[in-house]
Structure 1
Amino acid sequence: MAFFSENKYTLFGVAAIILWSCIVALIRDVSELFGPIGGAAMMYTISALFLTLVMGLPKLSDFPKRYLIIGGSLFVLYEICLALSLGMSTNRHQAMEMAVINYLWPAITILLSVMLSKKKVNRLVYPSVAIAFMGVAWCIAGDSGLSLSVLATNMTENPATYFMAFSAAFIWAIYCLTTKQLSNGKNAITLFFIATAVALWVKYALSGETGFEFSVSSTFTLLLAGIVMGAGYALWNQAIMGGNLILLGTLSYFIPVFSAIFSSFYLAITLPVSFWQGVALVTFGSLMCYLVTKDKPKTRSKKYSGAG
């Protein structure tokens, strides 16, 4: 109990990372059971309800308007692109490719921050970003070998999903950079989830998807997916209050690996060696981006203590 009380915020963050690693597989499963749009709409509705119960419903007046409008729009766009890119993939293996593309966002975030910053940066950041993108290309090309023709052929099979996946990675990177400046330290995640659910229901009403078939197992999967997603954000919100952010930040870069391992078991798919190599490259590239750009601790001069 003493260990938990001393490290509870860090443990909350570790739990959030584990839950986020399960999201890809659960979104894909829900989309197969209820349809990509309708399934996502129900899942985000459950997440919004869960967050409201756990964190309460905040007042709009508590947040800066620019944060609500710009941050909320980016969040909704990201979640819709992510959910639909996974749900509309041709098969489960392609859904895993969408997940890996999404995990480019840490490298893209750092790249954009470097491009916008006037500070001198380590030049290793650029090859690090290139390694992350090469990892995605490696995953998409598969055992056919890395070439532009192979990449173009694979991506033209379902261009909409690839477009949404790449868009999601860039949108979330922009979200991370802008909301830090606009939020004034406040977190409107519950409101953003509600907005995402509403947007998905509107899209569902305008789509050709009709009806849902519920069973005990499908209902359980839906509830589990919604709660897992909501709980991940709720726990992370607690973790950043007093957790070891250096440890949690480092661990978060391994989410692509954790996600691929969990998804391969949960979705019962065999991922080729080339896919795992690509995941490793994305993870390594993103982690290198972080390491070469993080601020170095300032060394303090030792004060004279009176000792000889």
Structure 2
Amino acid sequence: MPPLALTALGFAVGGALGLCVVMARRRGGLSLLRQPLRAWAHGVGGLFGYHALYFAALALAPPVEANLVNYAWPLLVVLLSAPVLGMPLGPRRLAGVALGALGCVLLVGPGVAGGEAGTAAPAPALGFLCAAGAALVWSLYSVTSRRLAAVPTEAVAGFCLATAALAGLAHLAFEAPVPALGAGQWLAVLLLGAGPVGAAFFLWDIGMKRGDPRLLGTLAYATPVASTLLLVVAGEGAFTGRVAAALALVAGGGWLAASARR
């Protein structure tokens, strides 16, 4: 499926499920969506801005290298926690996020995806710029969420629905029409909207507002490792020495960050 179309459908499902939860609440209900314009600009700008820049990067630049540039966002989350939130970093946290970044580079860097890496691209410089912009947008959205702690997490349902609408418009403008979907594809869309494009954003909002962004940014480097391990379990990949080394680096980095003094 075209990525923007899939984004629109996934966010529509996630937003609709979140809206059902909001309406089921005894207190607040739909009034929880009545947030200041600043909150809506932050939420929709972060969710839609990140995905629009990310997919533009994959379309314009070699996808492996663009994805690697995009994975600067966990490092930026950690680093921006100091100037934006006034949180000290310290050598253990910096070492932890550095190990996580190294594990990510080892796993998703050039050479892993074979022919994809370094292939011809229509506008690689612009694509890499979009990838860096995506990383910056997501890290700023994540860190500044803590400054909007008064905005309830339930409001993310509205942000998801607005993102779905914008992604749908972008799909109509830039992508080919979506062919008819089968039952299996619709099931995949529903699961995507319920999990990675639904619950994940609500949980991330809670984590950024109530947790430690420095630790969460470091642990985020476990994402490519977990994805690879899922492929291995599903029989679509092999557990190589490269995967084992990346797993060790990410786990060690997470331990360093978690054991740092508060």
Q: TM-score, normalising length from structure 1?
A: 0.61
Q: How many residues align?
A: 246
Deviation at 1:89, TM superposition (A): 9.2
2:49 is matched with which residue? 77
1:133 is matched with which residue? 101
Distance verdict in 2 for CA 1:285–1:237, change over 3 Å: closer
Which of the numbers 107, 130, 136 marks the counterpart of 1:170? 136
Distance verdict in 2 for CA 1:135–1:167, change over 3 Å: farther
Q: Map residues 1-308 of structure 1 onto 2, 5 A cutoff.
A: 34-56=1-23, 58-59=30-31, 62-82=34-54, 94=64, 98=67, 104-116=72-84, 121-138=89-106, 139-142=108-111, 154=117, 157=120, 159=124, 164-187=130-153, 188-229=155-196, 230-233=198-201, 254-266=222-234, 268-270=236-238, 272-278=240-246, 280-285=248-253, 287-292=255-260, 295=262
Judge conservation of contact 1:35–1:209 (CA < 8 Å) in 2. yes
- Deviations, residues 5-59 of structure 1 (Å, cap 9, x unaligned): xxxxxxxxxxxxxxxxxxxxxxxxxxxxx22222222222222222212233734
Deviation at 1:73, TM superposition (A): 0.9
Judge conservation of contact 1:82–1:168 (CA < 8 Å) in 2. yes
CA–CA distance in 2 between the matches of 1:194 and 1:114? 32
Judge conservation of contact 1:135–1:277 (CA < 8 Å) in 2. yes
Judge conservation of contact 2:3–2:55 (CA < 8 Å) in 1. yes
SS of the residue aligned with 2:186? helix
Which residues of structure 1 form unaligned runs of 5+?
Answer: 1-33, 145-152, 296-308
2:26 is matched with which residue? none
Deviation at 1:68, TM superposition (A): 1.9
- Deviations, residues 229-281 of structure 1 (Å, cap 9, x unaligned): 32444567789999xx69x9697764443332224445824465325533543
Deviation at 1:206, TM superposition (A): 0.8
Identity %: 21
- Output the amino acid matched with 2:181: F
Larger radius of gyration: 1
SS of the residue aligned with 2:172? helix
CA–CA distance in 2 between the matches of 1:157 and 1:134? 26
Which residues of structure 2 form unaligned runs of 5+?
Answer: 24-28
CA–CA distance in 2 between the matches of 1:110 and 1:271? 29
Deviation at 1:193, TM superposition (A): 0.5
CA–CA distance in 2 between the matches of 1:265 and 1:219? 24
